[in-house]
């Protein structure tokens, strides 16, 4: 399911619960994830390719997140989920969420698919639902992000070519990284949907 390589250190980011007791514990087991990986076509070669270019994802993570947040800000039906009472943008909430979003890019490219990773996917999913949204930051934004928008935003976060061009010389390598990133993100987003479903249906 993952690599035996040493994991990156856990950064000190407010509300970032990766590998900590504060993270949710996924009810899934390793075989569940292995089957999902096989369904999506994820391979050890994909994992190795993303890790190999981990420094590039670290370098570009903030620019990626800024571009995605600009899309959210430009569409009121998406920006709504970052608003506080009276539909006023909650700038403190947005400021606290951003470094975790940036770290998510880095984690997706570099973390092995082990139990800590699986648990944190459950935590991320829960933080988009009434079970945990706002809990990490003690804010008062709307209590959930509808699943349709979580899924609908996939094309935005998987369109990364512009962040790689000029840094990856070979077109074949560029395409391989794009495919690996797409599969990595798709696995995670599918895992995030679990808290939205009724027991036994996921």
Cα-Cα end-to-end distance for the chain: 20
Give the pLDDT score at 4. Answer: 40
Asked whether residue 11 is assigned to any structural domain, the reply reads no
Distance from the Cα of residue 173 to its chain's centroid: 23
Asked whether residue 202 is assigned to any structural domain, the reply reads no
Q: What is the CATH number of the domain that holds 157?
A: 1.10.490.10
Query: What sign does the CA torsion over 152, 64, 12, 115 have?
Result: positive
Q: Are 139 and 93 in contact (CB under 8 A)?
A: yes
Nearest one of 152, 70, 148, 156 to 105, comparing CA atoms: 156
Asked whether residue 2 is assigned to any structural domain, the reply reads no
Tens digit of each residue's pLDDT (9 = 90 or more) over 118-171: 999 999 999 999 999 999 989 999 999 999 999 999 999 999 999 999 899 999
Asked whether residue 24 is assigned to any structural domain, the reply reads no
Asked whether residue 29 is assigned to any structural domain, the reply reads no
Asked whether residue 154 is assigned to any structural domain, the reply reads yes
Asked whether residue 16 is assigned to any structural domain, the reply reads no
Domain count, the chain: 1
Tens digit of each residue's pLDDT (9 = 90 or more) over 2-49: 444 455 566 789 999 999 999 999 999 989 999 999 999 999 999 999
Global confidence as pTM:
0.92
Could you give the CA distance from residue 91 to residue 88 in angstroms, rounded to a whole number? 9
Cα torsion through 32, 23, 148, 87, rounded to 10: 180
DSSP 5: S
Asked whether residue 43 is assigned to any structural domain, the reply reads yes
Q: Which domain holds residue 95?
A: 36-196
């Amino acid at each position: 399911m993952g690599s035996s390589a040493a994991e990156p250190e856990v950064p000190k980011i407010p509300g970032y619960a990766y590998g900590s007791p504060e993270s949710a514990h996924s009810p899934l087991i390793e075989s569940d994830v292995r089957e999902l990986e096989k369904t999506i076509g994820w391979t050890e070669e994909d994992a190795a390719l993303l890790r190999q270019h981990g420094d590039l994802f670290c370098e570009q993570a903030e620019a990626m997140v800024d571009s995605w947040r600009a899309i959210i800000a430009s569409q009121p039906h998406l920006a709504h989920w970052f608003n506080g009472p009276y539909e006023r943008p909650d700038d403190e909430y947005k400021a606290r969420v951003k470094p975790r979003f940036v770290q998510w890019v880095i984690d997706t490219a570099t973390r092995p698919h082990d139990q800590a990773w699986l648990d944190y996917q459950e935590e991320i999913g829960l933080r988009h639902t009434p079970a945990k949204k706002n809990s990490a930051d003690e804010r008062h934004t709307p209590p959930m992000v509808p699943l349709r928008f979580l899924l609908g935003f996939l094309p935005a976060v998987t369109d990364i070519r512009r962040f790689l061009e000029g840094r990856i010389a070979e077109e074949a390598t560029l395409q391989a990284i794009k495919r690996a990133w797409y599969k990595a993100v798709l696995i995670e987003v599918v895992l995030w949907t679990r808290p939205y479903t009724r027991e036994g249906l996921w």
